[in-house]
Amino acid sequence: MDFIYKKRNPVVLNTTITDIPGDKSISHRSIIIGSLANNKSSFHNFLFSEDCINTINIFRDLGVKIETNLEAGTIQTQGVGLYGLRPCNKTLYTGNSGTSIRLISGILAGQKFDSEITGDSSIEKRPMKRIVEPLSLMNAEIYGNESLDQKNIFPPLHIKGNNLIKGMTYTLPVASAQVKSAVLLAALYTRDDVNIIEPAKCRDHTELMLKYFGVNLFISNNKISCSGPRQLQNPSTKSIYIPSDISSAAFFIVLGCLLPDSRICIPKAGLNKTRSRILDILIEMNARITISNVCSNDLEMYGDIAVESSSLKNIRIREEDIPFIIDEIPVLAIAALFGKGKLKITGAKELRVKESDRIASIVHLVSASGGKIIEYEDGFEIEGGSELHDFECNSSGDHRIAMSAVIAAIAANVNAVVKNCSCINTSFPDFFDIVKKLTI
Residue 300 makes contact with ligand S3P by CB under 6 A = no
Residue 276 makes contact with ligand S3P by CB under 6 A = no
**Residues across the chain:** 440
- Looking at the Cβ atoms of 226 and 414, the one nearer to ligand S3P is 226
Give the helix/strand (H/E) hosting 241. strand 240-241
Cα–Cα distance for residue pair 295/194, rounded to 1 Å: 32
Answer for which of 53, 177, 271, 299 binds ligand S3P (CB under 6 A) is: 177
Partner residues linked to 392 by β-bridges: 417
Residue 326 makes contact with ligand S3P by CB under 6 A = yes
φ, ψ at 356 (rounded to 5°): -140, 175
Q: How far is the CB of 181 from ligand S3P (least distance, A)?
A: 6
- Sole window of 86-94, 172-180, 334-342, 429-437 interacting with ligand S3P (rule: CB under 6 A): 172-180
**Side-chain half-sphere CA neighbours of 262 within 13 A:** 26
Helix-, strand-, coil-residue percentages of the chain, each rounded to 5: 35, 25, 40
Give residues 7-26 in contact with ligand S3P (rule: CB under 6 A): 25
Cα–Cα distance for residue pair 9/213, rounded to 1 Å: 52
Contact 382, 343 (CB under 8 A): yes
Give residues 331-350 in contact with ligand S3P (rule: CB under 6 A): 350
- Sole window of 75-83, 173-181, 371-379, 432-440 interacting with ligand S3P (rule: CB under 6 A): 173-181
Contacts with ligand S3P by CB under 6 A: the residue count is 10
Q: Which of 327, 357, 378, 430 is catalytic?
A: 327
Query: Closest Cα partner for 281 from 242, 320, 225, 244?
Result: 320
- Looking at the Cβ atoms of 25 and 105, the one nearer to ligand S3P is 25
> Is residue 44 packed enough to be buried (19+ CB in 10 Å), middle (13-18) or exposed (0-12)?
middle
Q: How far is the CB of 337 from ligand S3P (least distance, A)?
A: 22
- Looking at the Cβ atoms of 181 and 396, the one nearer to ligand S3P is 181
Residue 181 makes contact with ligand S3P by CB under 6 A = yes
- Looking at the Cβ atoms of 126 and 230, the one nearer to ligand S3P is 126
Partner residues linked to 225 by β-bridges: 195, 218
Residue 178 makes contact with ligand S3P by CB under 6 A = yes
Residue 208 makes contact with ligand S3P by CB under 6 A = no
Task: Mark out the alpha helices in 192-345 (DSSP H runs).
Answer: 205-212, 246-258, 277-284, 322-325, 329-337
Catalytic site includes residue 327: yes
Q: Is 300 helix (H, G, I), strand (E, B) or coil?
A: coil
Give residues 18-77 in contact with ligand S3P (rule: CB under 6 A): 25
The binding site for ligand S3P (CB under 6 A) comprises 25, 99, 176-178, 181, 203, 326-327, 350
Which residues are known catalytic residues? 327
